[in-house]
Copies of this chain bind each other. A is one copy, B any other.
């Protein structure tokens, strides 16, 4: 990617302000920042004020010094909980895909839906094509049920009331077994196996699913595939920082 020379100076300067903050340098005065970025006080004040207005910086009422604002924590958390999950999961998804040459997807919950955030496609001509960005109800499909099963209980009840496609008992069993299976729920002749992915705090942040034509999933190899999906979901969880119990 060629680096353009037409960047915007004011924006670079604002980012220079953010770069002033570092471990051990948690709070800085206006003068501190002005000196580090080597700009006039009035210029620095305007930059800092703009970042503060947008909650990227906060100003302490008592010390009048600046720190990172809540917006950065929010963006940081968002960044990690989406893009980095994909990056970390993708190599393992490819490994799973290579084992069986079946489609492997990663889903996250959003509202009443689940969204595919990463996908490794099968090379076989007969395949269930899924695209990154595809959305489906949480109540439908194996990956949906996996995500639904680990939502707060009242949230589960609310969604089940609206679309009683599965039951609280089935979700409890899912939490026990650690995986879900759907046989042609969204598409006739398609089977899907899904398992939960946890982060460092043992929160379920995604569902790993492997799916394909039912003719390839039925029979003696089914238990092996189920075990592998669970194992790879565990591996992704560990890669995300979840420690052994």
Q: Which chain A residues have a beta carbon within 8 Å of chain B's beta carbons? A: 1, 3-4, 6-8, 10-15, 18, 21-24, 26, 46-47, 49-54, 56, 58-59, 61, 67-68, 72-84, 86, 108, 110-111, 115, 117, 200-202, 241, 243
Contacts and interface: CB of A to CB of B under 8 A. Distances in A.
A26 B82 contact: yes
A47 B78 contact: no
A208 B42 CA distance: 39
Contacts of A46: 4, 6-8
A79 to B, nearest CB: 4
Nearest to A49: B4
Contacts of A117: 26
Contacts of A73: 76, 79-80, 83-84
A72 to B, nearest CB: 5
A53 B201 contact: no
* Identical subunits present: 2
A194 B26 CA distance: 22
Q: Which of A77, A83, A200 neighbours the largest number of chain B CB atoms within 10 Å of its CB?
A: A83
A80 B72 CA distance: 9
22 contacts: A3-B53, A4-B49, A7-B46, A10-B11, A11-B51, A12-B54, A15-B50, A15-B54, A15-B56, A18-B75, A22-B78, A23-B82, A24-B111, A26-B82, A26-B83, A73-B79, A74-B76, A75-B76, A200-B200, A200-B201, A201-B241, A201-B243
